[in-house]
Structure 1
């Protein structure tokens, strides 16, 4: 039963996972698999992460985590794994919900990143180390 649930979780998040793999290939990233998650890093990925609206050490798409480098992937692993579980829970709705929460928070004068409930959950897991 556990395997069936895991397969469903992978399928539910697969649109983002497939997109992440494609981006990693286009950007010539270095791939590694850690605990069932594909981690990708490389110079082009680092550049992209540094030039996002919110500069990021890492970013998750489904079961893919992009990192500026291997150290960033190691450092952010616990935080990004929370996002992997969120993709498993919310599937294709995750990104629209994340952006909606960020927009609402921004419009209310709050931090659309730090006050986002998805980020709060990830930072709480990180602090629980």
Structure 2
């Protein structure tokens, strides 16, 4: 069905498929800029860093703990530009996962984490989506 689409057409469909998540979190760019952070486009992804958002990531998230960056659709939020640079390959894998699963991805990610947790493993480190992102970085297990 999608074989006849051009690369550009396929890219547009991926953005539309993920748009509900991206649009939901778009105001975070404004929040970051109002609290000492900033944002910029990098390779088709809006990267947001610093301010209250960066501080919040540094303090930790439920089930994940402290993280350097997090992907929300075509948005990546990081502690700082340096952390965004260091985590870019990992976070771009999560962007591809969003493009594959669309707005269902957060629920699928949560279900995968709860599944490994029920097996006595770590919600974050053993989550198959995190393992795939580490493989993309070249950190083989």
| Band of TM-score, shorter chain | over 0.9
The answer on 1:120 being equivalent to 2:128 is no
Displacement after TM superposition at 1:45 (Å) = 1.1
Unmatched 5+ residue regions in structure 2?
1-5
Choose which of 2, 8, 12 in structure 1 pairs with 2:7: 2
In structure 1, how many angstroms separate the alpha carbons of the residues matched to 2:28 and 2:40? 15
Q: Which residue of 1 aligns with 2:31?
A: 26
Unmatched 5+ residue regions in structure 1?
none
In structure 2, how many angstroms separate the alpha carbons of the residues matched to 1:48 and 1:16? 20
Q: Which residue of 1 aligns with 2:22?
A: 17
TM-score, scaled to structure 2: 0.86
CA contact (8 A) 1:19 1:61 kept: no
Q: How many residues align?
A: 128
Tell me the SS of whatever aligns to 1:111.
coil
Ranked by relative contact order (alpha carbons within 8 Å, sequence separation 6 or more), the top structure is 1
Choose which of 99, 102, 105 in structure 2 pairs with 1:88: 99
CA contact (8 A) 1:87 1:94 kept: yes
RMSD: 1.2
Deviations 1:33-84 (A, max 9, x none): 1111110012211111123132110000010000100000000000000000
Q: Which residue of 1 aligns with 2:45?
A: 37
TM-score, scaled to structure 1: 0.94
Q: Give the structure with the larger helix fraction.
A: 1
In structure 1, how many angstroms separate the alpha carbons of the residues matched to 2:110 and 2:55? 22
The answer on 1:71 being equivalent to 2:104 is no
In structure 1, how many angstroms separate the alpha carbons of the residues matched to 2:85 and 2:56? 19
